[in-house]
Amino acid sequence: MSISTDAALAASAFQDVFGAAPSGVWSAPGRVNLIGEHTDYNEGFVLPFAIDRAAAVAIRRRDDNDDHTARLCSSYGDQQIVTVDLAALTQETMSGWSAYPLGVVWVMRQMGIDIGGFDLYLHSTVPSGAGLSSSAAIECAVATAFNDLESAGLTLNELVLVGQRAENEVVGAPTGILDQSASLLSTSGHAVFLDCRTQESKLVPLDLSTAGLLILVIDTNVSHAHATGGYSDRRASCELGAEVLGVRSLRDVAASELPETAGLLDEETFRRVRHIVTENQRVLDTVEALDQGGPTTIGDLLTASHLSMRDDFEISCPELDLAVESALMNGALGARMTGGGFGGSAIALIQISEENAVREAVVSAFAKAGYTAPDIFAVSPAAGACRIL
């Protein structure tokens, strides 16, 4: 379904729930990270693109400025209305799906943007827990909406940081800027090459169809959450590695310096560091390969990234490994898990003509292993957040 159809759905659901038309509808996409995993919070490089699945928020501001009541409803929450007093909002009182939109509103109010009462309806087609940034899509749609509605004048890079703060301080996930940057900075037909230290970005053409290619997302349906568990452990290992090596962040370690770091770090921390350092180099190599030879030339880099995450960073899982292996064995040019790991989705770069063969091979490999059937769909690089209606 198209982004504008989803926006129309959000507007009509808003009308049904709140009995009036919204002031507008804003949409922000989920993302696939082509390469560059866990490099963002190490001030390194990433290369994501927005996908054609998005969160749409329909919003109407209350006319009375003194009224700080917010009412929120979504297709996630069984159409139950969540009602809060914005003036009394604290990090502790936000929970469930509404913590994402309210987290953004809370951050913007903390920044002095005087958001008053409003009604909001959220409709999203980004599957949650699939590693496709369903939460960043909500955050970026809401941040874009209130930036417009309040004429706050925040730049896209500032909106990225608003979404990240909501994620870090309200949801409690110690994540970087990858997801929000992809959702806000993307343009159709391109990937976003982002330097996470400076927030400088460059759009890199990613014309898959002209090369006869497509990217399949294989959602393993193994759900993950980054507010708990492995994600923050990995982040802590990276911080430890940087501290022992005496650098501000692992961004400052070159691949050529890895051999001499081996003796300074314990074995596990060394492997964590090696993933980050080699992954940064793979992002740079992928950008160069896209520029020189186009998307047919990046397959091996994608697969090398997966092996590094599986063996050195240890954030894959059997279902993701099987998705990658079965895609590769059936003609994929490259494949890797995408996103934070511990579940979620893999991507496979394949010839358009091989789509059915790869789909069938992955589905049957999952059935044979006794795993829940994966959801498989093609994605193409889409536009970033904007007002739709």
Query: Where in the sequence numbering do the catalytic residues fall?
Result: 179
Look up tokens 């568990």; give the residue: 229
- Which listed range, 122-130, 141-149, 170-178, 363-371, lies at the site for ligand GLA (CB under 6 A)? 170-178
| Neighbour count for residue 206 (Cβ, 10 Å) | 22
- Distances in Å between the Cα of 319 and the Cα atoms of 243, 332, 387 are 34, 17, 37
Please state, in angstroms and rounded to a whole number, the distance separating the CA atoms of residues 94 and 146: 19
If one asks whether residue 37 binds ligand GLA (CB under 6 A), the answer comes out as yes
Q: Which is nearer to ligand GLA, 163 or 374 (CB)?
A: 163
Site string for ligand GLA, 191-230 (x = CB under 6 A): -----------------------------------x----
Please state, in angstroms and rounded to a whole number, the distance separating the CA atoms of residues 197 and 220: 32
- Which listed range, 144-152, 175-183, 287-295, 351-359, lies at the site for ligand GLA (CB under 6 A)? 175-183
Smallest gap, in angstroms, from Cβ of residue 243 to ligand GLA?
19
Q: How many residues bind ligand GLA (CB under 6 A)?
A: 12
Please state, in angstroms and rounded to a whole number, the distance separating the CA atoms of residues 320 and 164: 26
Smallest gap, in angstroms, from Cβ of residue 163 to ligand GLA?
10
Please state, in angstroms and rounded to a whole number, the distance separating the CA atoms of residues 329 and 296: 17
Q: Which of 42, 98, 144, 175 binds ligand GLA (CB under 6 A)?
A: 175
Buried b (16+ CB within 10 A) or exposed e, 128-156: bbbbbbbbbbbbbbbbbbbbebeebebeb
Look up tokens 């996470």; give the residue: 196
Q: Which is nearer to ligand GLA, 120 or 173 (CB)?
A: 173
Q: Which is nearer to ligand GLA, 117 or 339 (CB)?
A: 339
Are the C-beta atoms of 44 and 283 separated by less than 8 Å?
Answer: yes
Q: Which is nearer to ligand GLA, 25 or 218 (CB)?
A: 218
If one asks whether residue 275 binds ligand GLA (CB under 6 A), the answer comes out as no
**Smallest Cα–Cα separation from 62: which of 117, 24, 22?**
117
- Which listed range, 86-94, 100-108, 173-181, 349-357, lies at the site for ligand GLA (CB under 6 A)? 173-181
Q: Which is nearer to ligand GLA, 38 or 61 (CB)?
A: 38
If one asks whether residue 178 binds ligand GLA (CB under 6 A), the answer comes out as yes
Where is 105: in which H helix or E strand?
Answer: helix 99-110
Q: Which of 119, 179, 319, 354 binds ligand GLA (CB under 6 A)?
A: 179
Q: What are the beta bridge partners of residue 386?
A: 27
- Which listed range, 38-46, 138-146, 153-161, 319-327, lies at the site for ligand GLA (CB under 6 A)? 38-46
If one asks whether residue 38 binds ligand GLA (CB under 6 A), the answer comes out as yes
User: In the 8-state DSSP scheme, what is residue 371?
Assistant: P
If one asks whether residue 176 binds ligand GLA (CB under 6 A), the answer comes out as yes
> What is the dihedral angle through the alpha carbons of 180, 202, 32, 141, rounded to the nearest 10 degrees?
30
Residue nearest to ligand GLA (CB): 340
Please state, in angstroms and rounded to a whole number, the distance separating the CA atoms of residues 118 and 36: 38
If one asks whether residue 117 binds ligand GLA (CB under 6 A), the answer comes out as no
If one asks whether residue 48 binds ligand GLA (CB under 6 A), the answer comes out as no
If one asks whether residue 40 binds ligand GLA (CB under 6 A), the answer comes out as yes
Smallest gap, in angstroms, from Cβ of residue 167 to ligand GLA?
7
Q: What are the beta bridge partners of residue 119?
A: 60, 71
Smallest gap, in angstroms, from Cβ of residue 40 to ligand GLA?
5
Please state, in angstroms and rounded to a whole number, the distance separating the CA atoms of residues 89 and 102: 9
If one asks whether residue 42 binds ligand GLA (CB under 6 A), the answer comes out as no
Are the C-beta atoms of 85 and 67 separated by less than 8 Å?
Answer: no
For the chain, count helices (H), then strands (E): 11, 12
Residues in the chain: 389
Smallest gap, in angstroms, from Cβ of residue 313 to ligand GLA?
10
If one asks whether residue 339 binds ligand GLA (CB under 6 A), the answer comes out as yes
Per CB under 6 A, residues contacting ligand GLA are 33, 37-38, 40-41, 175-176, 178-179, 226, 339-340
